[in-house]
Chains A and B, each alone.
Chain A
């Protein structure tokens, strides 16, 4: 972790207003590109959450990257403006502690230069060096933390998190912190079961995708987390594309021109991972958002060719659901300049 010695590793950048977010060359190489072939259709594309290639976004179970400090600052602003982005029904408190343990132990183990966790029985000592936080607290005693356990640790961990209670052969979205979402509302969906909160997704219900995914998740085992990738596109590198603020950011979709596609249009990838929790038997559903500009995609020839073909051939109803309709044509035109028609190699990774 020699990177930790470099005080400039964590970028100073914004995800709103002047939108200074950008990816370094290293961040582009490690980006979780979501297409392993030249076309896209829904699938239950679940795999074991095993360590991916060195330095890749999937190398560690919880990925902390160069955007960490800036993302946490953005989350703090969202929560200050709208506390309903973090909610937890009362019966989820044990799952919240489970989540705190999972995140603290993962972060301290995989990034020892940045995070440290000391444990003597229930007396825990947490150090977060990038954010300048040190906390002594008693595991299981909410009065010893400044926030509830889920909010406390997820204010210090990239990605949105939901806690799913399991009962009656279903999963219930009973807890979560959601500040970097692709246009869904925690406040509205809180308390829904797995089938209900996926209700607005077109096509997939008829394909039986959710019934199969639910059956699979009900049998998720402790110590065997899984992951999948999901994707959409976002205009400007805005993390908070919530329905709550859609009346403010929706207009961004009309600002794309042939000249600014490379900088305005972003591929938005969600690395979704699910873990069974040990005390509560709940499931953690983490939704980690990665953004990459078209100009940055174009630095990887295989990805530029492939994204061009995927977007060009995407069925209209999926494009509409993902909100791409206004700017898909211009983006496909822009990407076509980076597609010479050569075949692409199988798999996600750059050649």
Chain B
């Protein structure tokens, strides 16, 4: 089965030296991907804001010394801070996102909603393949869905998670799996 055309293609973090500034949001261990892409590039690091979903405040890795480092305790708080920095960003700022599938789903939709397109955004998938899913019936969003089918956490309908993906919503579509045979669920498969 070929990859469905609406699925997001994540790549590698790739800060452009000609960007006027860099705004990074990374989730937990994905900070290692940031270090790989930014370390040893003082001309880039000197104009980088790094928002990090971090447990505790261990500070930025030594290889990233020089970035403006902002640790936040959760994905939600980090994305609020990221959005606030984005609101003050200058023309020519490049965005970078590193984290799990569900993190990239939500964070890239935020960037997309602010009009960031094309080379203005680089991404890197690190870790958990669990997806962000929207129930098409009640429109409820679910973070970190690790397998399909799944019962909607909002309305309870049993959902198959399709590969069809909306960049605007930052979510995969969940659609009723047992409408034509109520209660008849296929075995759950992990992503």
Interfacial chain A residues near B165, Cβ < 8 Å: 199
Given contacts A192-B166, A246-B136, 5 further A-B contacts (CB under 8 A): A191-B168, A243-B136, A250-B179, A251-B180, A253-B180
Given contacts A191-B166, A196-B6, A198-B5, are A185 and B179 in contact (CB under 8 A)? no
CA distance A326 to B136 in the complex (A): 23
Given contacts A185-B136, A191-B166, A199-B164, are A246 and B6 in contact (CB under 8 A)? no
User: Shortest beta-carbon distance, B113 to chain A, in Å?
Assistant: 9
Most buried by B among A188, A198, A254: A188
Mask: chain A, 229-246; 1 = CB below 8 Å from B; 0 = not:
000000000000001111
CA distance A86 to B131 in the complex (A): 27
CA distance A190 to B180 in the complex (A): 27
Q: List 16 A-B contacts (CB under 8 A).
A: A187-B136, A191-B166, A192-B166, A192-B168, A195-B5, A195-B6, A200-B163, A205-B2, A205-B5, A243-B175, A244-B137, A245-B137, A250-B176, A250-B180, A251-B180, A251-B182
Closest 3 CB pairs of A and B: A250-B179, A199-B6, A191-B168
Judge whether A185 and B173 touch: CB under 8 Å.
yes
Which residue in chain A gives the minimum CB-CB distance to B155?
A247
User: Shortest beta-carbon distance, A215 to chain B, in Å?
Assistant: 16
Q: A65 at the A/B interface (Cβ < 8 Å)?
A: no
User: Shortest beta-carbon distance, A208 to chain B, in Å?
Assistant: 12
Most buried by B among A206, A244, A248: A244
Interfacial chain A residues near B167, Cβ < 8 Å: 191-192, 196
Binding site for B on A (CB under 8 A): 84, 185, 187-192, 195-200, 205-206, 243-251, 253-254, 326
User: Shortest beta-carbon distance, B10 to chain A, in Å?
Assistant: 16
Which residue in chain B gives the minimum CB-CB distance to A206?
B2
User: Shortest beta-carbon distance, B41 to chain A, in Å?
Assistant: 30
User: Shortest beta-carbon distance, A255 to chain B, in Å?
Assistant: 10
Interfacial chain B residues near A190, Cβ < 8 Å: 166, 168
Judge whether B180 and A188 touch: CB under 8 Å.
no
Judge whether A200 and B139 touch: CB under 8 Å.
no
Given contacts A191-B167, A250-B179, A250-B180, are A84 and B139 in contact (CB under 8 A)? yes
Which residue in chain B gives the minimum CB-CB distance to A183?
B175
Mask: chain B, 159-191; 1 = CB below 8 Å from A; 0 = not:
000111111110001011001111000000000
CA distance A205 to B7 in the complex (A): 14
Judge whether A197 and B6 touch: CB under 8 Å.
yes
Of the candidates A187, A200, A248, A250, which one forms a contact with B164 in the assembled complex, judged by CB atoms under 8 Å apart?
Answer: A200
Interfacial chain B residues near A326, Cβ < 8 Å: 180
Most buried by B among A187, A205, A206, A247: A247
CA distance A190 to B162 in the complex (A): 17
Interfacial chain A residues near B180, Cβ < 8 Å: 250-251, 253-254, 326
